[in-house]
Structure 1
């Protein structure tokens, strides 16, 4: 019988993660009964310390990548998207409203405000948001600059005053994005999402009515009309993405093109920080992208949420989020050997010395496997193409789980590293129901390995980190699965983007491929590819078009030879 995997939750949950993992047969970490590092998944709402990333053991996973505040903090998101727009052009990076960071850019905002004054009859509105708050806190709308009052860093954004409405109510989409890896970039978007409604009818003559202009559930569930029937919207303030797809069927639009534009927003936003995120193969991250669609069916990025809410306010939440978390766990590449944790290692006589101290530490290694054919079988299975409709991930090589999901590495000598990076807290746009005080307490109290029973086997964790050399794998080998449950792989999406992301991300090539794909989807030309004249490796790699209820293969839309 395989050993159970163990999860560790930081204070207060989230309860949904606990329920899903227990149902899957996991055990919850108990510091009174287990060793300090006797766990497989550590889940917390706030970011981890830098030292925690550097001391990860092979069987451990964290639910955050390091240094992602570049998109989850509102002012950082603005700066990064501006930089990408200046570098690669406004034709691509045109999905974010005009935004200013105050107080530093007040003069620039004032100039833009005065330029638009003659157009006041066209209802030019602005929305002000604190850079480090979430759940709608501190947000207000204004037309007259005299109403702009703030006492902290804020972003002031031109308000999208022509949102698409359903029965007169404003809504946005909460899209769930999983970044499996930043190096190489590997992105999945979930087929299910939340459609979040305001609970009072949209009205530009009443900018102070938060129930008409904000879609945050934390606000609207307290509104006077939350439980009332609201036309097609119904009671409450949420739909599933499946219900929204049904609504779109009657809108006479190129639906695949809409989905592809939303997909582009996700990819282009992630590209803005990918080169700066440190490589950490044992991490996975779930982001919440908030997308608004206007009356011309153009999608706009509103913000990106770190730790999107996993609370269950209604049945819609349950139907979306429970499957979401289960599918996320499937993407973490756990194998039976992960359940052994410490037991998978044995002390060897080989001793390494610390860089700055004469501290001898035994170097652990994997035990000999009883089944001599085990590795050969796994090596063979790792090269097989993942079945497109299969929910669970295929087996992977014994050592492969240490190094990441699909990068092919050569393992060289192990050694100690004395580098200890200082922790620099990052204030991000968290969506979970926590106060700022709670977030600060989480950061100050989180130190791995400081609680619980002491292990009788305590080698230096730094000595367990393998120094690796990358070797370019052949295209078509060790590619990320095309899907995991409801998660659809959206990047890389073809052989060219796979190659462009393998060693050093080639952003211009990625952007060129995105434009070609988008143009083909916009044209509506769905084709069956014959494979004639194509390179052999293309037969090994395909992707699905995220968004439609039954996602088609991209090979039907996109031919790199055209």
Structure 2
């Protein structure tokens, strides 16, 4: 008997749903407007947004990191409209006082300000010292709300003299643990790296594909083209594993098995410094991926990746097929992701 090939998405505008629906249609599936007749729907793609925001929102991730893995992320301060004066005073005391004397500028100590809930490089600002931060926060035209002030990594590893960052995808499931894709890509700045002129050209220092609503003309390469990626990847695996374990301390029932099997994609952004240390920069829930034709990484990365997502996650949920996970590292098994007793203890403690 032929298995049912029907899926339903309320909207396919999100990159993940766009690519899954496109490839299901290529395999002879039918999209239905009725979720009840589908064997795969939106509800199979979202775990728990309330908990996932602790990874997506930069100030919540910073707090999680500060509590459980402070050595994995650059030094980060959470700042908002109510506490910015205290935060800047704390930064001044901790970094700009030498022998009880205030130093306006410290060599190689610079800062990057990011809105906690925006992506695509929107409203990212760079500062040479705390005085520039004070001037920014005194402005009536600045963006309000939750932000993070993160220490700028002033000694980044370079490719052809240019700064770069990594993006590698992870898959969280509520039935078989955590997976980390074995390949990703790097965003390489279009300009040679230099700090001699400060931050006049943000495109030297920020490698987002889109920056303040405009294409930044970065170069993208598959991570497998980098000779040192196998070594770098092992550090990444350790960071992702630690991040998930830390999140589960905060929310032990996040990956609790349910009757409905669910998986969700997260994009982890990393940077490598000249000492060989990998830094976690941020995490994107339902990460973006190119939806236009003829992306230069299609053949070497994206086509394989999205077919792996179908074969290892979508079809096993829809048709109970056996996944192979050949292009994924199985970072955490399901037994590592949920404990009934830890969940029970957390609920009891919350009610005390």
Specify the TM-score bucket, using the shorter chain as the normaliser.
0.7 to 0.9
Query: For the Cα contact (< 8 Å) 1:129–1:140, is it kept in 2?
Result: yes
Q: Quote the Cα distance in structure 2 between the aligned partners of 1:121 and 1:20.
A: 52
Normalising by structure 2, report the TM-score. 0.79
Question: Structure 1 residue 157: deviation in Å?
Answer: 0.7
> For residue 490 of structure 1, what is the aligned residue in structure 2?
331
Runs of 4+ in 1 over 6 A off after TM superposition: none
Q: Deviations over 1:113-154 (max 9, x none)?
A: 343225735221000000100010000100233432243221
Output the aligned Cα RMSD.
2.9
| Counterpart mapping for 1:11-410 below 5 A | 11-13=11-13, 14=15, 15-29=18-32, 31=33, 35-43=34-42, 61-66=43-48, 67-85=51-69, 93-103=70-80, 104-106=82-84, 107-117=86-96, 120-148=105-133, 149=136, 150-152=142-144, 153-181=146-174, 186-204=177-195, 205-219=197-211, 222-223=215-216, 226=217, 237-244=219-226, 246=227, 248=228, 255-256=230-231, 258-275=232-249, 276=251, 277=254, 279=256, 280=258, 281-312=260-291, 314-317=295-298, 319-332=300-313, 334=315, 338=318, 394=322
Aligned residues: 313
Query: For the Cα contact (< 8 Å) 1:4–1:25, is it kept in 2?
Result: no
> For residue 10 of structure 2, what is the aligned residue in structure 1?
10
Question: Structure 1 residue 171: deviation in Å?
Answer: 0.5
Q: Quote the Cα distance in structure 1 between the aligned partners of 2:192 and 2:22.
A: 37
Query: For the Cα contact (< 8 Å) 1:263–1:490, is it kept in 2?
Result: yes
Query: For the Cα contact (< 8 Å) 2:164–2:189, is it kept in 1?
Result: yes
> For residue 541 of structure 1, what is the aligned residue in structure 2?
none
Q: 2:177 is paired with a residue of what secondary structure?
A: strand
> For residue 364 of structure 1, what is the aligned residue in structure 2?
none
Question: Structure 1 residue 278: deviation in Å?
Answer: 5.8
Query: For the Cα contact (< 8 Å) 1:312–1:318, is it kept in 2?
Result: no
Question: Structure 1 residue 19: deviation in Å?
Answer: 2.0
Larger Rg: 1
Normalising by structure 1, report the TM-score. 0.51
Question: Structure 1 residue 62: deviation in Å?
Answer: 1.7
Query: For the Cα contact (< 8 Å) 1:140–1:208, is it kept in 2?
Result: no
Q: 2:270 is paired with a residue of what secondary structure?
A: strand
Q: Quote the Cα distance in structure 2 between the aligned partners of 1:105 and 1:64.
A: 33
Q: Quote the Cα distance in structure 1 between the aligned partners of 2:341 and 2:53.
A: 20
Q: 1:288 is paired with a residue of what secondary structure?
A: strand
Q: Quote the Cα distance in structure 1 between the aligned partners of 2:291 and 2:221.
A: 13
Decide whether aligned partners of structure 1 residues 238 and 500 sit closer, same or farther in structure 2, where only a CA change above 3 A counts.
Answer: closer
| Greater percentage in strand | 2
Q: Quote the Cα distance in structure 2 between the aligned partners of 1:147 and 1:126.
A: 10
